[in-house]
Amino acid sequence: MLNSLEKATIHLDPAETVWLGHDRFTGAIALATAKKIGGKSALIHYMSYAHYEAFAENSASARSKESEQRVLFSNADFVLAVGPLLRDALRDLVDKKVSMLVPGLPDIQPRDEPKVFRAFLSGRLSAKIKQASLGIAAFGSAIHQCTENLGLPSALNRVNEPRLILRGVDFENTNDGIDNEAEQEIKTFVEGYAKGAVNLQALPFTTDRSELF
């Protein structure tokens, strides 16, 4: 990348140039480019490995990645973090002023409330850190509570057939994305919390945006 930048006909004013890096993923190249080409470097803190990596992987992995982050962010001219948790984690990691980024939401047009309540869980649902089982259990428990207590939202009453859609289920033993045994295992799990049948769709991971939306 650095060689291609040197050959490109791009005229940069170091006083007005900031190279932006994404944590461990592109942070090192942002620092190296700023040093070689000129300009300032800014890194965005995206993950606090001290909070979860020991659970997701192991303690050695957490320590290694946190040490890598400390070196990267210590050498950056500007450091930023997404949200208050990561801001505080980065403050503990390096002795620098941390600017917090607040994610925004696009302007959307309000829509009428759907007739059928649909919950959606997406991601690598087999990964422990994603806590998919917690979301599935919470949905089942909500159905049970709203069915037994008429004072709670009726949309989650079992008679109104609330639906849970899971996108990212691992169907590892099949080629066509269908694994009746794996799907039944998930349904049995959620029905244990719902105390009855649940309308659940377990779907494999997809990169098709239109299908996902």
pLDDT over 70, % of the chain:
90
Q: Look at residue 107 and tell me if it is in a domain.
A: no
Q: How far apart are CA 74 and CA 95, in angstroms?
A: 8
Q: How far apart are CA 94 and CA 69, in angstroms?
A: 9
Q: How far apart are CA 98 and CA 89, in angstroms?
A: 10
User: Is 93 in the same domain as 167?
Assistant: no
Give 50's pLDDT tier (boundaries 50, 70, 90): confident
pLDDT of residue 7: 55
pLDDT of residue 4: 56
- The range of the structural domain enclosing residue 64 comes to 2-101
User: Is 15 in the same domain as 61?
Assistant: yes
pTM, 2 dp: 0.64
Using the predicted structure, report yes or no on whether residue 6 has a pLDDT greater than 60.
no
Q: What is the pLDDT of residues 162-212, one digit of tens each?
A: 999 998 877 655 555 556 787 888 899 999 999 999 999 988 888 888 888
Domain count, the chain: 2
Query: Average model confidence (pLDDT) for the chain?
Result: 88
Higher pLDDT, 185 or 27: 27
pLDDT of residue 1: 53
pLDDT of residue 177: 53
User: Is 125 in the same domain as 94?
Assistant: no
Give 130's pLDDT tier (boundaries 50, 70, 90): confident
Count of Cβ atoms closer than 10 Å to residue 69 Cβ? 24
What are the DSSP E strand ranges found in the chain? 18-22, 40-45, 78-82, 98-101, 118-122, 163-167, 199-203
Q: Look at residue 55 and tell me if it is in a domain.
A: yes
pLDDT of residue 8: 60
